[in-house]
Amino acid sequence: MEMKLGSFDLSSMARILLVLCVLMVSKSTGTFFPIDNYLLACGSSQNVSSQGQVFVPDSSPSSLLQLNKGITVNSSSTAPSPIYQSARVFTESSTYKFDINQKGRHFVRLYLCPLSHPSYNLKSATFTVITDEFVLLSNFTFKNQTTNYLFKEYLINVTSDTLYLHFAPSNNSVSFVNGIEVVSVPDELIPDQALALNPFTSFNGLSGLALETVFRLNMGGPIIIPGNDTLGRRWENDRSYLHVKNSAQNYSVNPSIIKYQTGVTPETAPNWVYATAERMGDANVVNDIFNITWVFTVDPEFMYFVRLHFCDIVSKAMNELIFNVYVNSVLAMPSFDISEKTGSLNVPYFKDFISNSSTNSSFLYVSVGQDKSNPSDAILNGLEIMKMSNEAKSLDGKFSVDGILPSIAKKKNSKVGILVGSAIGVTVALALLAFCYCCFVAPRSSKPRPKSHPWLALPLYGNSQTMSKVSTTSQKSGTASFISSGVSSLGRSFTFSEIMDATNKFDESLLLGVGGFGKVYKGTLEDGLKVAVKRGNPRSEQGMAEFQTEIQMLSKLRHRHLVSLIGYCDERSEMILVYEYMANGPLRSHLYGTDLLPLSWKQRLEICIGAARGLHYLHTGAAQSIIHRDVKTTNILLDENLVAKVADFGLSKTGPALDQTHVSTAVKGSFGYLDPEYFRRQQLTEKSDVYSFGVVLMEVLCSRPALNPGLPREQVNIAEWAMGWQRKGMLDHIMDPFLAGKINPGSLKKFGETAEKCLAEYGVDRPTMGDVLWNLEYALQLQETSEVADPEDNSTNHIADIQLGQLQPIDNSMSIIHSGADDEPEDATTSAVFSQLVNPRGR
């Protein structure tokens, strides 16, 4: 994951030398050669040729190709031109990093088109784009746009060796980009100074500002595509901006007669621009004195840099053409005579101004017109209008970079280099889910980043996005730091022969189950202790180091409600884990599908409480929280006393670090239990476990599978089905008939509400596991007190309804205590705190 910033090796030296040579040669021929020249087709799998330019995929190095699988949109139907046909979609803040070889002005160009996608509505995506210094787009969305694609061009003076381009989705949204260009611009193109109108004064300091091209017109001429402009600019025709269409008529000459002279080069504007113009309509026929006026809609909050291009291509002789030029009705160039300035016909000339929009309106007007004292024709050849960044260094809105994205802004400063954003898939659909259990080799991008692609989007939070079921320890770096915070014992190291003896040579009759990792056998150790032996598939891709990290992680987790690891065996390249044996097997088998006795409501509550404790410990008990990612009734095991323990950390992942809110990852988990938000956004938080646990609660109440495709459509998914009934307050209609008449209504109500909150659409609306635990305890207490008392007494009527949110402060104190003590004591703590609750019977 490390990227050496500013590293300088022979190959880049050679590249710079080559560039310098080319530059020297090109100087003599007058052609500008952009030293930095990145043209990226985002999300594309191949080079894209668009408007005379070739864009390369933003994912070329094969070492990282896998990261980019399923993260792109590719749709030719809605795209206006090839560069818009693919896009990269980001579900979280992401960054492109460009190595800059020549500091100074650069064009930064963005191509945006909300392609259609089955899971993401890019049309309503809202996001912010910033560099380290400037805000380019703020809360931008296509929702409000009249166009269905957008091209943006910025001119930014890059003063460091690297340019970062951050894409930050707004709340619950995604960001995307179809194409990016970062291209060197000749320093002379934009001066530091220009004449400000209204009041007339010299404006200094343009070099410190970012500019955004809002209009660039080739008056009276055709559209000039980037491929025909030395700086890759596009020039539009001006007709649609004319205030009065027939006030102007186009005029053109052969571009080859344009003579560039001092101060003006083809980089200023190509000769195609100077070879065409708008001149006064019928000026020679009608004697009326009038103006040609162009009208532009601008944001009145900003100032604008206005460049006017002239070239006298209409006159037969010198000093024939004398006219006035107005910007926002201010006479900017009185009695202007082009040939006087240039000393010759057909020689280009340009003039810069700085202007506001006209007084309290959002229009900017540019006019050329006859000088009353000296009536002649009037022309304009080209016009550029650029928005200037404001005091907040923004080109969109009033927020500065620091105000908007402090976290991103901070990250870029850490020169460690783990700062480049993560590109998360959008085509992560069912297909990928089905893939979950297949081995997917996680790319380890600790490989050096290929020099030739310095702009790659790299993941922000490590790389194991395609972590497989087998790759148990998921995020290696996270795990490693977590472990170093306090390694306990690694558990017992077993010899292979001990394992062979314990399992009777892996006797198939002792098979307890088969999972992605391999097979699980029941075993008996020499001392008579019953164990579960999980034998990794020797052909699995999981390396030895990862195997050991997994052991460390699991052995660190000791809790009454987590299945504990007893030891391991790594002899003979075996990968074997030995767990405590859970006599009563998975919770699921006690709910349905077997002839085991149905569990009582109290037993069910106690099991749920146990499992919630285990998960609460995972989330809060360690320095870095752990997200289980595969909470379901088959992963909650019951020991001989029906004590619930959470098992199978095959998918678990260390949670977000303190300054992050989530980890991003390819979607893993089990159908029916999957957090819809996680599925949509691939952002993993503890709340994803909470959602899955909500499904478990419903399953426990209703004694039916999370997904049952055999049922009518609306009943297939228990989360949807039960939520419908819960909202109606009629959960008792679908609960396990065995429980009918045996549940205290208050207990059921509390349980239903808790499950409902767990199943909230958005993670932020779900309770923490601590809250869940609390409410389940409460439901249990209601049940217990009602069992003691007269069953007819509906005690709930007397109980103040306790909202999940209100429990938060107390829960915090609970988790502090938890983090101090790993093992049993939290039971006592919890009940101590719980006893502060009003005993319903005491009221």
Ligand X SMILES: *[C@@H]1O[C@H](CO)[C@@H](O)[C@H](O)[C@H]1NC(C)=O
Q: Which residues contact 454 (CB under 8 A, 6 or more apart)?
A: 97, 98, 99
Query: Measured from the CB atom, is 113 or 618 closer to ligand X?
Result: 113
Amino acid at 217: L
Contacts of 1 (CB under 8 A, 6+ apart): 417, 418, 445, 446, 458, 462, 463, 477
In 3D space, the residue among 115, 107, 162, 99 whose CA is nearest the CA of residue 136 turns out to be 107
Q: What phi and psi, each to the nearest 5 degrees, are found at residue 351?
A: -140, 135
Sheet holding 276-280, edge to edge: 248-252, 276-280, 379-380
356 near ligand X (CB under 6 A): yes
372 carries a ligand binding annotation: no
> What angle is formed at CA 641 by the lines to CA 634 and CA 620, rounded to 5 degrees?
60
Decide: is 540 part of the binding site for ligand X (CB under 6 A). Answer: no
Can residue 81 be called a binding residue for ligand X (CB under 6 A)? no
CA nearest neighbour of 252 among 276, 280, 274, 283: 276
- For ligand X, give the closer residue by CB, 331 or 810: 331
Judged by CB under 6 A, which stretch of 342-350, 360-368, 435-443, 588-596 contacts ligand X?
Answer: 360-368
Given candidates 9, 187, 823, 824, which one binds ligand X under the rule CB under 6 A?
187
286 belongs to the binding site for ligand X (CB under 6 A): no
Q: What is the end-to-end Cα distance of the chain in Å, rounded? A: 60
Is residue 291 close enough to count as binding ligand X by CB under 6 A?
A: yes
59 counts as binding ligand X under rule CB under 6 A:
no
| Segment (H or E) for 522 | strand 518-524
Minimum gap (Å) between residue 475 Cβ and ligand X: 27
- Rule CB under 6 A: say whether 737 interacts with ligand X: no
If one asks whether residue 318 binds ligand X (CB under 6 A), the answer comes out as no
User: What is the C-alpha separation between 201 and 193, in angstroms, rounded?
Assistant: 10
Segment near ligand X (CB under 6 A), from 354-362, 494-502, 628-636, 800-808? 354-362
Separation of alpha carbons 54 and 41, rounded Å:
9
Asked whether position 272 contacts ligand X by CB under 6 A, the answer is: yes
Q: Which is nearer to ligand X, 197 or 755 (CB)?
A: 197
Exactly one of 5, 16, 23, 56 binds ligand X (CB under 6 A); that residue is 56
By CB under 6 A, tell whether 37 contacts ligand X: no
Are the C-beta atoms of residues 689 and 631 closer than 8 Å to each other? Answer: yes
Binding residue for ligand X (CB under 6 A) from 13, 17, 764, 816?
A: 764
Shortest CB 221 distance to ligand X, Å = 5
Q: Is 33 in the site for ligand X (CB under 6 A)?
A: no
Nearer to ligand X, 342 or 367 (CB): 367
Catalytic residue among 229, 630, 675, 771: 630
**CB of residue 91 vs ligand X: minimum separation in angstroms?**
15
Residue from 91, 94, 128, 783 binding ligand X (CB under 6 A): 128
Q: Counting runs of H as helices and runs of E as strands, what totals does the chain give?
A: 18, 39
* 3 state SS for 615-656: HHHHHHCCCCCEECCCCCCCCEEECCCCCEEECCCCCCEECC
Q: Per rule CB under 6 A, is residue 138 in the interface with ligand X?
A: yes
Q: By C-beta, is 47 or 495 nearer to ligand X?
A: 47
Query: Shortest Cβ distance from residue 562 to ligand X (Å)?
Result: 32
Between 6 and 528, CB nearer to ligand X: 6
**263 scored as a contact of ligand X (CB under 6 A):** no
Beta-sheet pairing, 565-569 with 492-493: parallel
Q: Contact, 221 vs 275, CB < 8 A?
A: yes
Smallest distance, ligand X to C-beta of residue 171, A: 4
Angle at 107 between CA 101 and CA 109, to 5 degrees: 120
**Region from 10-18, 217-225, 519-527, 657-665 binding ligand X, contact rule CB under 6 A:** 217-225
- Minimum distance from residue 39 beta carbon to ligand X (Å): 8
Stretch that binds ligand X, among 191-199, 477-485, 647-655, 688-696 (CB under 6 A): 191-199
User: Judged by CB under 6 A, does residue 54 bind ligand X?
Assistant: yes
Q: Quick one: 171 or 573, whose CB is closer to ligand X?
A: 171
- Strand, coil or helix: 266: coil
In the complex, minimum distance from the CB of residue 458 to ligand X, in angstroms, rounded to a whole number: 20
The only residue of 177, 322, 354, 460 in contact with ligand X, by rule CB under 6 A: 354
d(CA 599, CA 597): 6
**Binder among 12, 37, 101, 139 for ligand X (CB under 6 A):** 139
The pair of three-digit structure tokens given for residue 733, joined into one six-digit string:
């209609």
Q: Find the part of the chain contacting ligand X (CB under 6 A) among 48-56, 332-340, 485-493, 542-550.
A: 48-56
* Residue from 22, 25, 289, 583 binding ligand X (CB under 6 A): 289
Residue 208, interface with ligand X (CB under 6 A)? yes
Q: How do beta strands 363-370 and 330-337 pair?
A: unpaired
- Residue 423 binds ligand X, judged by CB under 6 A: no
Query: Residue 594 CB, nearest distance to ligand X (Å)?
Result: 43
Please identify which residue in the block is written with the tokens 């101590």: 832
Q: Tell me, by CB under 6 A, how many residues bind ligand X.
A: 52
CB of 128 to ligand X, least distance (A): 4
Name the segment binding ligand X (CB under 6 A); options: 19-27, 336-344, 367-375, 427-435: 367-375
**Residue of 12, 250, 477, 660 interacting with ligand X (CB under 6 A):** 250
Q: Is 630 a catalytic residue?
A: yes
Place of tokens 């992963």: 635
Give yes or no for residue 326 binding ligand X (CB under 6 A).
yes
| Gap between the Cα atoms of 213 and 228, Å rounded | 18
Per DSSP, what are the bridge partners of residue 534? 520, 577
Per the structure block, which two tokens stand in for 493? 């190291």
Minimum Å gap between C-beta 329 and ligand X is: 4
Q: 335 CB contacts (<8 Å, ≥6 apart)?
A: 322, 323, 324, 371, 373, 374
Q: Are 665 and 465 in contact (CB under 8 A)?
A: yes
- Is residue 171 within the footprint of ligand X (CB under 6 A)? yes
- Rounded CA gap, 203 and 247, in Å? 33
| Sole binder of ligand X in the list 88, 97, 105, 476 (CB under 6 A) | 105
What is the rounded distance in angstroms from the CA atom of residue 128 to the CA atom of residue 137? 5
Q: Which of 221, 382, 655, 752 binds ligand X (CB under 6 A)?
A: 221
For residues 408 and 782, which CB has a smaller minimum distance to ligand X in the complex? Answer: 408
Closest to 560 in 3D by CA, of 517, 619, 498, 612:
612
Q: Which two tokens stand for residue 751?
A: 């349980």
- Sign of the CA dihedral with 699 first, then 770, 469, and 424 last: positive
- Cite the active site residues: 630
Binding-site residues for ATP, in ranges, read: 534
Binding-site residues, in ranges, read: 534
Tell me which residues touch ligand X (CB under 6 A). Answer: 44-48, 54, 56, 74, 85-86, 104-105, 128, 138-139, 144, 157, 159, 170-171, 187, 196-198, 207-208, 220-222, 224, 228, 237, 250, 272, 289-291, 303, 326, 329, 354-356, 360-361, 367, 369-370, 397, 399, 404, 764
